Amino acid sequence: MLPPPPPLRRLLPALALVFFAAPALAQPAALTPSASQLTPERLWAIQRVGGAAVSPDGRTVTYGLSTPDVAANRSSSAVWQVPTAGGAPALVGAGSEAVWLASGALLYSSADGGRRTTDGRTITGLPPDAETVEIAPTGDYVAYTRRVRLDPAPTERYPDLPQTTVRIHDDLMLRHWTQWADGTYSHLFVAPFDLATMTAGEGVDVMPGRRVHTPVPPFGGAEQIAWHPDGRRIAYTAKEADGTAFATSTNTDVFLYDVRTRATRNLTEGMPGYDVEPAFSPDGRMLAWNSMARDGFEADRNRLFVMSLESGVARELSAGFDRNASHPVWLPAGDALLFTTETGGTVQLYTVALRGGAPRAVTSGDHNITEVAVGGPAGAPVVVVGRQSMTAPTDLYRVDLATGAMTPLTTHGAEGLAGLAMPTTHRRTVRTSDGQEMLVWEVRPPNFDPSRRYPAILYMQGGPQSALTQFFSYRWNLAALASQGYVVVAPNRRGMPGHGAAWNDQISQDWGGQAMTDLLSAIDAVAAEPYVDRERLAAVGASFGGYSAFWLAGHHEGRFKTLVAHAGIFHLESMYASTEELFFVDWDLGGPYWGTPRPASYDRFSPHRYVTNWTAPMLITHGDLDFRVPLEQSLQAYTALRLRGLEGRLVTFPNEGHWINRPQNSLAWHREFYGWLREHLQTAHTPPIRPGVAE
C-alpha cells in the first residue's frame, strides 16, 4: 500500500489546520536546528543521492543529487559523476535521469526540459510532452512515452460548454493515487533516430487504441521499459485491463514489440500476478523479470524469472528462496544476476547464477541496499549500490562481489549529518504471544544514559506488508524522532517481508489479530526496561500504521498516553467502497462487505466498532488528495474522537496525497507531530474526558 514517493513538484504550499474545540494549546515553535540534534529542519537540508548509472567501461558512475530548498518550497536536481575507483565527485549539469549510451556518451534530462549529452548536443524532434526517453543500444531508434487521448473530454462531448469542469466516468478505475482519470493513457512510442545529429523522426504508437498504460501507474518508471541489445525489439510492462479489471486485478504483463514488423507478443501470458521490470541479458538471448504468482495479492513473494527468447521457455531462478528477489540486474558476462531482498530487518544484495543454484548473499550488515548499478567488462564487473541505514542517509558504495566489502564513493548524505550526535540502533528479539521470535529495532536517543527514564514511542509500520528495515526516511525518520529524547520501538510484526512467506502472508484477513498483539508485545518488552518511563508511552503510524493507531486506541488497555494516526483506515466498509485499487482490500479484507458469506474482517477488525473504548488523546493527519486511503477515513475518526469528549486535533493538507512531500508542508507536519508528542509525553498530562457526552 506504500510505494516509493512521487517526485517533489514546484507548487505553492497549501496547509489546512483544524484544531479541536477545547482551550487552545500553545502552538509548537519551530524545532531550531542545532549543532547536536537531528531535527526536521536539518533533515530538509540533507542532499539526497539516487539514480546511479555505471558507464559501459566501468570507470565512472553518475548519479542524481536532489537539493531541497525550503524557502522556495521545492527541490532542485543535478547530475554528478565520480570515478568508481574513488576520487572527487564532479558536477555534470543541472538536470536528472542520466543514462549511458552504448557509445559511452552520457545523456541526461537538462533543467530546461531538454535531453542533452555532456558534449552539449541536444535531442530534437521529440514531442514536447515526451517522457521516459530511451535510445536504442544501436543508436538508430529512440523510445519515449506520452499521453494519448482515447476517451472524449467533457468539452468534446459538449462543445457548447467550453468551461465545464464536469467529470464523467464509465469505468470503475475513476481515480488513482492522487489523480482523477481524464481519458488519456501513457503509451510507448518508437521513432527512427540519427545519433550523429541527435534527431528523432516521427514516432509510432506501440500500443495503438489500447486503453492501457506503460509505465504502469501510479509509480512505474523507466525500469518497466527495456531495449533489446539488437535495437530492433523493445520490452515494456502494461496491465491489459479495462477500468474494472484494473481496479480488481494485479495481472500485469511483459510485452515484446518488434520495431520492424510492429508485432507485439505477450511474454507472460498465463502468469496471473504482477510481471514487471524486464531486463535483457547482455547477449540478448535471455529476458529476466520479476513475477508474483497470485493475482490480486500486491505483496506476494517477488520471484526472479528468466526466459529464453528463442524457445520461449521460462524458469524461476529463485525457486526455494523464501524471500523476495527484487529488481534484477544482469552482470556483464550474462552468466548471473544481482537482486535485492529484505532479510532480517535489512535489505541486502544477492546474486544467483543463470545455470541455477541457491542465491548467494553478497552484502551483510545493518543497512539497506537501495539501488544497484552495474558496468564494466565481462571479466571485471563494476557494481555500485546505494546504501543507507536508520542513522545514515543514502550514499554510493562500490561493492566487491567476492567479499561483499563496500568502498564509499560519495559522502553527500554523511555530510548532511556532520556535527550531530546521532541515536543508536539496537536489535532485540521479543517473544510473541504465540511463541514466535520477533525482531524489534530499538532506537535510543543520542548520548543515551541508562540511568535515566525516557518516554517511549511505538512506531507502527504501514503496508501492511511493508518491510521495516534500516530505512532513512524524510517523513517518518526514526533517528530524528529518537533525537527528540524518545526511545523508539519499531517491531517487525506479522505481515512484514524479510522473515519468510508465512510471516508475510499471515496478516491478510487478520488485521486486528496477531499483528496487533505483536505490536503490544514489543512495546511491553521495551517498557519493562528500567530506562523507559512506562507512564509516558505513545503509539504512532501511517497508512496501515494509522489503522493500527485507530485499532489500538480501542484495545491498548491504558498503555498509551496518546496516539498519532496519519492516513489511517478507520471504517472498513467505507474504505472498501471508496479506495481505488480494490485488489488490495479484496485480498486483505476477504472481499466486499456484501459478500456471501460476509467476510469476518468487517465485524471483527474495523476500528470504528471499538470507539467506546477510546480514552487517549489523538492527533490525526491526512492529505486531501489521498485516494488510496480517502480523507473521509480520518474525518470519521476525528468526529468520533470529539464526540467522545476526547482531546484531539485534525491536521489536513489540501494539496498532498498519501504522503506529505512538499518541503513546507512536511515541516508543518513535523512541527505538529513533535509538538503534540512534546505536549503529551514530556510533561504530566491527563486527557480531559467530559462526562455525559454521547457514546
For 510-520, what is each residue's pLDDT tens digit?
A: 999 999 999 99
pLDDT digits (tens, 9 = 90+) for 122-145: 999 999 999 999 999 999 999 999
Active-site residue among 658, 666, 670, 680? 658
Q: Does 634 participate in catalysis according to the annotation? A: no
Q: What is the mean pLDDT of residues 363-370?
A: 98
Q: Tell me the pLDDT band of 14, cut-offs 50, 70 and 90.
A: very low
Is position 406 within any domain? no
Q: Does 658 participate in catalysis according to the annotation? A: yes
pLDDT digits (tens, 9 = 90+) for 296-332: 999 999 999 999 999 999 999 999 999 999 999 999 9
Helix H, strand E, coil C: the string for 298-316 is CCCCCEEEEEECCCCCEEE
**Cα gap 53→104, rounded to integer Å:** 12
Active-site residue among 543, 601, 606, 634? 543
3-class state of residue 9 by DSSP: coil
Is position 586 within any domain? yes
- Specify the pLDDT at position 682: 83
Is position 241 within any domain? no
Is position 282 within any domain? no
Is position 651 within any domain? yes
Q: Tell me the pLDDT band of 540, cut-offs 50, 70 and 90.
A: very high
Q: Specify the range with the lowest mean pLDDT, choosing from 72-76, 544-548, 681-685.
A: 681-685
| Domain of 646, in residue numbers | 16-41+417-681
For 585, phi then psi, to 5°, come to -75, -30
pLDDT digits (tens, 9 = 90+) for 445-490: 999 999 999 999 999 999 999 999 999 999 999 999 999 999 999 9
Is position 540 within any domain? yes
Q: Tell me the pLDDT band of 35, cut-offs 50, 70 and 90.
A: low
- Specify the pLDDT at position 1: 57
The model carries a pTM of 0.92
- Specify the pLDDT at position 114: 87
Residue 413: CB partners within 8 Å, gap ≥ 6? 46, 47, 48, 49, 388, 392, 393, 394, 395, 472
Closest CA to 200 of 92, 279, 121: 121
- Specify the pLDDT at position 685: 35
Q: Tell me the pLDDT band of 113, cut-offs 50, 70 and 90.
A: confident
Q: What is the CATH number of the domain that holds 598?
A: 3.40.50.1820
Q: What is the mean pLDDT of residues 600-618?
A: 98
Is position 444 within any domain? yes
Active-site residue among 510, 622, 626, 670? 626
**Cα gap 83→404, rounded to integer Å:** 19
All cell numbers assigned to 396: 554510493
**What total of structural domains would you count in the chain?**
1
Q: Does 213 participate in catalysis according to the annotation? A: no
Is position 407 within any domain? no
Instruction: Residue count of the chain, please give it.
Output: 695
